[in-house]
A and B are shown apart, each in its own frame.
Chain A
Amino acid sequence: EAGVAQSPRYKIIEKRQSVAFWCNPISGHATLYWYQQILGQGPKLLIQFQNNGVVDDSQLPKDRFSAERLKGVDSTLKIQPAKLEDSAVYLCASSLNRGSNEKLFFGSGTQLSVL
């Protein structure tokens, strides 16, 4: 079974520039998550989708971050404009559904460096 695909693998931008990340979850997985993992910290949930609807975006900095999952399959996360503190690994994950014991499958992440 194919895993969660993310691209690009690495991205280097200057502050105030824009950047977008793409995620293709495992086929049939209704729930998609974007996590931010800052160096030395655990992953922090930014946004969760159930199909194409947002379930939780309480920790998404909405003044600069946006995400969409228009057809309920793949998703994009955008940062505009980027700040130095956005340097992190952005992880996408998916699960079959959103129950408490659902197993999350993670992609390899996109490592963002903001200079």
Chain B
Amino acid sequence: GNSVTQMEGPVTLSEEAFLTINCTYTATGYPSLFWYVQYPGEGLQLLLKATKADDKGSNKGFEATYRKETTSFHLEKGSVQVSDSAVYFCALRNQRNTGFQKLVFGTGTRLLVSP
């Protein structure tokens, strides 16, 4: 079946530090990969996505590259800000020409950034 594994949190960093949140997946076929972010008191928001191998998704200074050879989609940011403090969810959704494919989430990684 399809599954996503994320590194456990919390990840605690100082402002301007480099961020990596690891994500690996198991899937049949060729899934699309996503990072969602949940800020305190808010709903999940799509942060970035990649739909095929070697694609790089990017948004708000965050990047993730779809690595089929290592089945990974690690989230990175060169310099985090306090406002990046949130819970980050890696997710996948398999692609098919027909039929419904559900979005499968990892367990989430909490990021805490201190000034």
Residues of A with Cβ closer than 8 Å to B? 3-4, 40-45, 48, 55-56, 91, 93, 98, 100-101, 103-109
Contact = CB atoms under 8 A, between A and B. Distances in A.
B94 interface: yes
B4 A108 contact: no
A100 B43 contact: no
Interface stretch (B62-70, B78-86, B97-105): B97-105
B46 interface: yes
Q: Is the interface on chain B under 10, 10 to 19, 20 to 34, or 35 or more residues? A: 20 to 34
For the residues of A in contact with B, the DSSP-based class is loop
Pairs of residues from A and B, 8 with the lowest C-beta to C-beta distance, nearest first: A42-B105, A106-B43, A106-B44, A100-B95, A108-B43, A45-B102, A55-B100, A42-B107
B43 A42 contact: no
Given A42-B4, A100-B94, A48 B107 contact: no
A71 B45 CA distance: 26
B32 A98 contact: no
Interface string B102-114: 1111111000000
Contacts of A45: 102-103
A101 B51 contact: yes
Contact of B108 (A42, A55, A56, A107): A42
B41 A104 contact: no
9 contacts: A40-B107, A42-B104, A42-B105, A48-B102, A91-B44, A100-B101, A101-B93, A104-B44, A106-B36
